[in-house]
Amino acid sequence: MLTCSTTKLSVIVIDLHYLFSRNLTQYPGECGVGSLFLQVNETQNLTSPGFPSLYRNDLICRWIVTAIDAIEDIIWVKFITFDLERGYDFLQIGDGDDSSDESSLIGSFTGRLKLHVLSSNEFQLWIVIVTDSSGISQGFHIEVTSMGRCGMSN
């Protein structure tokens, strides 16, 4: 039997209906590549547009991360830098490839976070940044890695 310990994250409770009802119109040139494909034990960096400079207002970017070598692998997410306008701009992370499915949400993050690690429950993960029309911050830098279920620690 495989057992793993995970780190629980403190998240701010927000009105998810508002976030999920927003039109996810992506800005292709600004958001970069929309899909990341990871081989086993491969790590890629993902940053908010403009990072480490400030991101812009009214931004919606969506990425799908897929572990392509083994369907039993999961995606580990390591927050390196995280600074979004607290309570107004959010990074959402969920299982699968459908960011409109509220039940797939793993977490919604805002404000400042110190180094944290979380994981998907399957071989695909969606990531969405949603910003409002006022106030901006530095943004985020995260690492995404395809690994086995117990492959990463803080």
- Which pLDDT band, with edges at 50, 70 and 90, does 154 fall under? very low
pLDDT at 42: 93
Per-residue pLDDT reduced to its tens digit, 77-119: 999 999 999 999 999 999 999 999 999 999 999 999 988 899 9
Query: Does the N-terminal peptide bond of residue 52 adopt cis geometry, omega within 30 degrees of 0?
Result: yes
Closest to 131 in 3D by CA, of 99, 89, 93:
89
State which residues form the domain around 51. Answer: 35-147
**CATH classification of the domain holding 125:** 2.60.120.290
Is 65 part of a structural domain of the chain? yes
**Residue 133 CB partners (closer than 8 Å, separation 6+):** 57, 58
Domain count, the chain: 1
